[in-house]
A and B are shown apart, each in its own frame.
Chain A
């Protein structure tokens, strides 16, 4: 408005009179605004937060011991049958499903998020190196990505676990191995796109060291689209981990994840369907929430998305 009043020629004031003043907002605020403007994103974000809160739930406050066996109370249905003691019912060993589900949230999330973090570092480093340096480095790294993506995730994970043995560290390693390649792909494409921008040329011409260009100038450009990929990968790895646990190749008891709970409940679906259904629904909720957030982030970071809406 301040600008238009200084123009001496007659101007179309309809825009201004509607009150559409130009207000400067930083890139991140515009992105956050775009993200928050969709109800699906808001819902996904809140539910994802709730899942994280469930993982942080203090274990001492659980109504029952999540590993406490009570055969006298085995296979009790939950609230739908009027059970007020075990609200979500009990499994074949009489363990309280509500306590057990909350208890398992922590390990389920820790495994996936740790694996994604490792994979993101690995993918970022390799992808950015491939995109920035090109040439032989690019050939080799792109070849590694192609080879990795040709392996069926479950098959490779099963084979590695069979050799390494199923413990948490092995599982995290396996999941990280199956996940780095898609991150590297995104990081490479983003770096390729950004490295010919003027600000990179400018930085190079005043003698900024390569390491600093990579970290200060290119990394922010790579990181934002990668955020959406990371969110998708968390839900993907929760699914993969649960499939491995379901096949009996996840963490060893008494440790438990949602996938392992479904595996436990699988043999009792005829007379106690809830033992598989409760953790199954939890996984579905988590995947929905993280996918919503991922979709929202992808749109918010896509520069064409918010300029179209604005």
Chain B
């Protein structure tokens, strides 16, 4: 376990270095970062002053080292728009984004896993076709379009739920539902396939032959073995979940990091954009690391090999 843990840690650190490299060069993609930040209309003196003040006149490797070491201790520089350090601005929005992500994750797994299991057990029955139809639907509809439809139905026509903002549980339902449609189809699909896969394994037949109760077989043999591929979804889809939250937050005026990025882009607040993208991508890396570790816990064969 120790060596496996260490190997994953090194890999994760390397990936994070790559991420920081790309976010570092994002600002430098189209030439002069000082000009990008201050805009075309800034005077030459202002640009020069900004360059000195931010250390942009130093060699690139030195700038990168400063950027990375700052990022590690949480120093992302100052936002142009808010005129204050970036970290507190993002930390203030982070709980809202995490709340939304956690809620949609809960919906995806609480609905998707049982639905996938039932669809597999009742293959080619009505419930299976329902599950497969839902998967197709959820994959085909653009997320923001679904959001508009739900706002129209539950917010405007039926007036059951608020159409935007954050606060009560009612505010959370629609955005979480919309965001869950990113993970839900894959969860159903993978669970169904995984259960179908383990259903005819020898150990399941063995358990049945020795008279084990169907429910125990399902829980102890099938679901446990199917849990690895389901867990993989979380790792693979963490990026799309957080990316999707940008759109969902914008549609529902949800005060999270995603909406912060969009407004920062519109305000051309590049340091804030840079820092937010780095933090979101770092979150994806952390989730992947946790998934890797859980993998090792759930399947001892992985850490041994």
Interface on A for B, CB 8 Å cutoff? 143-144, 146-147, 149-156, 158-164, 239, 242-243, 246-249, 259, 262, 266, 269-270, 273, 276-277, 280, 283-285, 287-288, 291
Interface pair A243/B144, CB less than 8 Å apart: yes
Residues of A within 8 A of B26 (CB): 159-160, 163
Residues of B within 8 A of A246 (CB): 142, 144, 247
18 A-B pairs with CB atoms under 8 Å apart are: A146-B15, A146-B18, A147-B18, A147-B22, A150-B284, A150-B288, A152-B240, A152-B284, A159-B26, A162-B270, A163-B30, A242-B144, A247-B262, A262-B144, A277-B149, A280-B149, A284-B145, A288-B140
Total contacting residues, chain B, CB less than 8 A: 49
B246's contact among A158, A270, A276, by CB below 8 Å, is which?
Answer: A158
Beyond the given A162-B270, A259-B142, please list 9 additional residue pairs across the A-B interface where CB-CB is below 8 A.
A144-B18, A147-B15, A152-B281, A153-B240, A163-B27, A239-B142, A246-B247, A247-B246, A247-B250
Interface pair B18/A143, CB less than 8 Å apart: yes
Say what secondary structure dominates the interface of chain A. Answer: helix
Residues of A within 8 A of B273 (CB): 158-159, 162
| B151 nearest in chain A by CB position | A269
Residues of A within 8 A of B244 (CB): 152, 154
Interface pair A283/B139, CB less than 8 Å apart: no
Residues of B within 8 A of A269 (CB): 148, 151-152, 156
Expressed in whole angstroms, the Cα–Cα distance for A277 and B244 within the complex equals 20
Interface pair B265/A159, CB less than 8 Å apart: yes
| A158-B261, A288-B136 given; A276·B15 CB < 8 A | no
Least Cβ–Cβ distance between B26 and chain A, in angstroms: 5
* Top-5 shortest CB links A-B: A152-B243, A147-B18, A280-B145, A154-B243, A162-B265
Expressed in whole angstroms, the Cα–Cα distance for A288 and B133 within the complex equals 11
Residues of B within 8 A of A262 (CB): 142, 144-145, 148
Residues of B within 8 A of A143 (CB): 14-15, 18
Does any Cβ of A come within 8 Å of B19's Cβ?
yes
Interface pair A152/B148, CB less than 8 Å apart: no
Interface on B for A, CB 8 Å cutoff? 11, 14-15, 18-19, 22-23, 26-27, 29-30, 36, 136, 139-145, 148-149, 151-152, 156, 236, 239-240, 242-244, 246-247, 250, 261-262, 265-266, 268, 270, 273-274, 276-277, 280-281, 284-285, 288
Expressed in whole angstroms, the Cα–Cα distance for A58 and B151 within the complex equals 36
Interface pair B19/A243, CB less than 8 Å apart: no
Interface pair A283/B142, CB less than 8 Å apart: yes
A-B contact count (CB 8 A): 136
Interface pair B22/A151, CB less than 8 Å apart: yes
Residues of B within 8 A of A163 (CB): 26-27, 29-30, 36, 270
Expressed in whole angstroms, the Cα–Cα distance for A192 and B266 within the complex equals 45
Residues of B within 8 A of A159 (CB): 23, 26, 261, 265, 273-274, 277
Residues of A within 8 A of B149 (CB): 277, 280
Least Cβ–Cβ distance between B15 and chain A, in angstroms: 5
Residues of A within 8 A of B142 (CB): 239, 242-243, 246, 259, 262, 280, 283-284, 287
Residues of A within 8 A of B18 (CB): 143-144, 146-147
Residues of A within 8 A of B266 (CB): 248
Interface pair A150/B262, CB less than 8 Å apart: no
Residues of A within 8 A of B148 (CB): 262, 266, 269, 276, 280
Residues of A within 8 A of B277 (CB): 151, 155-156, 159
Interface pair B270/A155, CB less than 8 Å apart: no
Interface centre among B136, B145, B239, B277 (most CB of A within 10 A): B145
Residues of B within 8 A of A259 (CB): 142
Residues of B within 8 A of A153 (CB): 239-240, 243
Interface pair B29/A270, CB less than 8 Å apart: no
Residues of B within 8 A of A287 (CB): 139-142
Residues of A within 8 A of B243 (CB): 152-155
